[in-house]
Amino acid sequence: MNDLLTGLNEPQRQAVEHAGSPLLIVAGAGSGKTRVLTHRIAYLLGERGAHPGEILAITFTNKAAAEMRERVDALIGPRSRAMWVLTFHSACLRILRREAHRLGWKQSFTIYDTDDARRLLTQIVKELGLDSKKHSPRWLAAEISRLKNELIGPDQAASSADDARTKLVADVYAQYDERLRLAQAVDFDDIIGSTVHLFRAFPEVAKSYRMRFRHVMVDEYQDTNHAQYTLVRELVGTGDDRAELCVVGDADQSIYAFRGATIRNIIEFERDFPDAKTILLEQNYRSTQTILDAANGVIRNNTERGREKRLWSDEGPGGRILGHTGDNEHDEAAWVAGRIDELVDAGDTSFGDTAIFYRTNAQSRAFEEVFVRRGIPYKVVGGVRFYERKEVRDMLAYLKLTANPDDTVSAMRVVNNPKRGVGDRAVAEVEALAARLRISFPEALHRADESAGISSRARPGIRRFCEIIDAATELAKTAPPEEVLDRLIADTGYLEGLEQSKDPQDEGRIENLQELVAVAHEFTEQVVRGTVDDDEADLEADVPSFLEHVALVSDADSIPDPESQEGGVVTLMTLHTAKGLEFDTVFLTGLDDGLFPHERSMNKPGDLEEERRLAYVGLTRARKHLHLTRAGTRNVFGQPEYYAASRFLAEIPGDLIEWSESAPPPARVVKSKSPSFGQPIVMRNSGDVPVLDVGDRVTHDKYGLGRVVELKGSGPRAQARIDFGDGEPKWVILRLAPVTKL
């Protein structure tokens, strides 16, 4: 059989070979959907004569995109560069940058993230004289986002508004839209919506992309919203010249309803493409049957489901799922840590192949504390992100102004930060000037000197601010982003302020700024080396490209590579981030009713079903060792709160789970080096890690005699791969494993 088709089962092979009509692959978790996409790309290139430039593959995160590219790279080599393997947002941005002029935009338009957008809304709420408690910017942002995801513009929102609430939203939306435009900025939803608009307003542009991308593929299709779906339809077309489309998804894993994702997309797919072929994949290659049975037991309780699926696995039943109810969250975390040590110790898993999932970011803390104490290497994905820190955002605001002189939100953020005598009153005066001349706020700052309406006390500060921005803008024309940042950090006096501060936190802030410069430097290096994306990316080592890179960073991008360090690190993340990933060992934690399912979701059946899908996603990430834990009692604002067991636990057939009592976690006791002493000794400390060479003969308390075949790491990280004569040699961490040299 063809090389590109080996390692695929029959329906997978069909999906890879299918040509012509649109293809929909709906299949459960771990059935090889992503694998099919990757092989399909390779097959298109290798067998069907497609050029890499004709391929557009959409994945959900930048990280997934990088992985897919890597796999294709391994299959076909550097030719893969010309493919577009991107998220919806990166692909649309790339298109928008090229076509900006058609929409009357400057090419250097700015992206407003959630925080920027909320600031702008706060400002609008204030200006419209609304009560921000009753109409919170957060709520308004969600309402506007919902409209945008449905491709409803401000005019349409206004004309269909029929009560006070919808009218108010429409008013704010119109203002918001205008202000974005004035600031030459787009929010995340606009990135998609404007691309759809571009294709609709300029059919010839749509056609040129359709002629270019003859093969369009979308992973995690269940999480696309209406705007994204429409984009795909516009791009692929429905006429004679339509491109080949292949989408893969699982309705049971749809977990982004709050971002407008809807199962409707699968129904619409079959309506818009009546000749679409649907392929089902039923064999799961990831998990043991026990894990699948548990996942099926849970998801079965949802009424809103796609097709009935009968997922099965060839992996055998595997071990039982282990459950633990802690006395509190610290006990829960300690049990998890104990269990990780136990598994790693026995050579049954590595840190890098272990993940901890929870419902909300705040839950990571208890785990971090115990991991630090026990020396378990770990990484928390998400949480308070680097780019959300105040000092980082401040500097990025300065940087954004060098790329886009009309960026109002950024200018308002930093015009008096560090303080330079431009107080609230002066800001209001400049705003009034901007409104009078219908220009952006930063432009009004530049014209403050000509206007009588600006108080003279604020003028020197405004002038200084404009000088700093102008000088950096000039520099940005030729210098890489890290140099511009360096200059800004110095010119603004921001660093000086932090250095002179007595606040101990400010030291950390200085480090964060250094880190930001380092990130920019790394970005430049990557671009120069050409490792970032392809030759067609229009990507340069300049400020706009760097800002775009920063704007599109997502939590999932920082998921550590299992191979990145010796033995890797345990990954902690929310369930939402876990989508599409797999790990040998999984701990699904915090299974307390009110926490998971989240209490906000408990009154609405639709929301509860979404939580259940989230549980299904979590359960199906595990290959071999699945653990379910809860705390029962948790500290909430310093008070113990009692929780009942998550209702999802009761949905898992009882005989699949082996519960341990809320006893202290098994003490880490390692048997004596020489079993004949029979006396347990406490865990090795790093002092007595045995020094081994390849070829040495050893004895392991559990596995018996073995021979060292490979070594890596040193000190407490030293690991040995030992052949015990019973199949694959096992990796053990010498600090932990009961191994003695003979």
Ligand X SMILES: Nc1ncnc2c1ncn2[C@@H]1O[C@H](COP(=O)(O)OP(=O)(O)OP(=O)(O)O)[C@@H](O)[C@H]1O
Q: Which residues bind ligand X (CB under 6 A)?
A: 7-9, 12, 27, 29-35, 250, 253, 285-286, 580, 582
Give residue 329's identity as a one-letter amino acid code.
E
Residue closer to ligand X by CB (options 34, 349) is: 34
Q: Is 219 a catalytic site residue? A: yes
Interacting residue ranges for Mg ion, rule: CB under 5 A: 33-34, 580
Q: Is 27 annotated as a binding residue?
A: yes
CB atoms within 10 A of CB 101: 9
675 binds, among ligand X, Mg ion, none (CB under 5 to 8 A by kind): none
Residue 7 interacts with which of Mg ion, ligand X, none, CB < 5 to 8 Å by class: ligand X
> Which CB, 67 or 177, lies closer to ligand X?
67
Question: Closest approach of Cβ 410 to Mg ion, in Å?
Answer: 37
Shortest spacing between CB 33 and ligand X, in angstroms: 3
Q: Known binder of ligand: residue 34?
A: yes
For ligand X, which residue has the nearest CB?
32
Active site includes 699? no
Is 577 labeled as ligand-binding?
Answer: no
| Residue number with CB closer to Mg ion (61 or 175) | 61
- Annotated catalytic, 107? no
User: What element of type H or E holds 573?
Assistant: strand 570-574
Rg (alpha carbons) of the chain, rounded to whole number: 28
Which residue among 487, 613, 621, 721 is the active-site one?
621
Annotated binding residue 108: no
| Min separation Cβ 9 and ligand X, Å | 5
User: By C-beta, is 33 or 309 nearer to Mg ion?
Assistant: 33
Binding partner of residue 404 among ligand X, Mg ion, none, CB cut-off 5 to 8 Å per kind: none
Report the phi/psi class of residue 42: left, alpha or beta, with left for phi > 0 and alpha for psi in -120 to 50: alpha
34 is catalytic: yes
Question: Annotated catalytic residue: which of 87, 110, 228, 253?
Answer: 253
Residue 672 labeled ligand binder:
no
Residue 475 C-beta-side C-alpha neighbours within 13 Å: 19
CB of 87 to Mg ion, least distance (A): 14
Does 30 count as an annotated binding residue? Answer: yes
How far from chain centre, in Å, is Cα 441?
Answer: 33
Collapsing DSSP states into helix, strand and coil, what is residue 437? helix
DSSP 463-508: HHHHHHHHHHHHHHTTS-HHHHHHHHHHHTTHHHHHHH---THHHH
Indicate which of ligand X, Mg ion, none lies near residue 250 (CB less than 5 to 8 Å, by partner kind): ligand X
Which does residue 9 touch among Mg ion, ligand X, none (CB within 5 to 8 A, set by kind)? ligand X
The CB-of-55 to ligand X minimum distance in angstroms stands at 18
- Tell me phi and psi for residue 284, to 5 degrees: -95, 130
Residue nearer to ligand X on the CB measure, 311 or 527: 311
Note whether 556 and 112 are within 8 A (CB).
no
Which of Mg ion, ligand X, none interacts with 31 (beta carbon under 5 to 8 A by kind)? ligand X
Supply the angle between the helices 226-236 and 264-272 in degrees, to the nearest 10: 20
Any idea what DSSP says for residue 48?
S
Question: Minimal CB distance to Mg ion: which residue?
Answer: 34
Q: Examine the residue annotation and report whether 438 is marked as an active-site residue of this protein.
A: no
- Helix axis angle for 137-149 and 164-182, nearest 10°, is 80
**First CA to last CA distance, the chain:** 48
Looking at the Cβ atoms of 108 and 296, the one nearer to ligand X is 296
Annotated binding residue at 687? no
Q: Is 732 helix (H, G, I), strand (E, B) or coil?
A: strand
Nearest to 692 by CA among 669, 714, 723: 714
Residues 6+ apart with CB under 8 A from 733: 344, 345, 567, 717, 718, 719
Least Å distance, CB 64 to ligand X, is: 9
| Structural contact between residues 381 and 570, judged by C-beta atoms closer than 8 angstroms | no
Tokens (6 digits) for 163: 């009560």
318 is in an annotated binding site: no
| Binding-site residue ranges for ATP | 27-34
Catalytic residues, by residue number, are: 33-34, 219-220, 253, 621
| Binding-site residue ranges | 27-34
